[in-house]
């Protein structure tokens, strides 16, 4: 694509960092809707290989994170919705980011392979 800046390592790392961070956020449902829209923008920028748009979406996503002070009477805070978590994890993987912690429902794959674990059921 002509006229589009290539995505450099720093841009990738910044996007991975904020996507990793959002997995720990606690926000109101309304704020999660806004975050989901920003994650979609980040996804679109990555698909277009547009570094400028990726940096802009990453910066907006960083600003959408939780604030340290919560006002009395604030609506309930909830963890990341499944749809947003799944999209963020996919983007981290696409960006070549750090692997996520193993799920508690199975053993970690420490074979050094590509993460494809074969499980067999015993009777």
Cα dihedral sign for 108, 113, 116, 121?
A: negative
> Considering the domain boundaries, does residue 114 fall inside one?
no
pLDDT value at residue 117: 39
pLDDT by residue (tens digit) across 10-24? 999 999 999 999 999
CB 48 within 8 A of CB 99: no
Total tally of structural domains belonging to the chain: 1
Residue 14 neighbours by CB under 8 Å, 6+ apart: 55, 58
User: In which element (H, E) is residue 18 found?
Assistant: helix 9-22
Domain of residue 66 covers: 9-94
> Considering the domain boundaries, does residue 61 fall inside one?
yes
> Considering the domain boundaries, does residue 105 fall inside one?
no
Closest-CA residue to 21 (of 71, 115, 89): 89
Query: Residue 120's pLDDT band (boundaries 50, 70, 90)?
Result: very low
Query: Residue 69's pLDDT band (boundaries 50, 70, 90)?
Result: low
Is a pLDDT exceeding 60 seen at residue 37?
yes
């Amino acid at each position: 694509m002509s006229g589009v800046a290539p995505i450099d390592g720093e841009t990738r790392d910044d996007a991975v960092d904020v996507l990793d961070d959002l997995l720990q956020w606690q926000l109101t449902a309304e704020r999660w809707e806004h975050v989901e829209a920003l994650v979609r923008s980040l996804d679109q920028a990555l698909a277009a290989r547009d570094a400028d748009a990726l940096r802009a979406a990453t910066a907006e996503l960083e600003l959408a994170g939780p604030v340290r002070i919560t006002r009395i009477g604030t609506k309930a805070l909830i963890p990341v919705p499944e749809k947003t978590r799944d999209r963020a994890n996919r983007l981290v993987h696409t960006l070549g980011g750090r692997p996520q912690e193993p799920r508690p429902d199975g053993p970690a794959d420490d074979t050094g392979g590509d993460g494809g674990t074969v499980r067999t059921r015993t009777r």
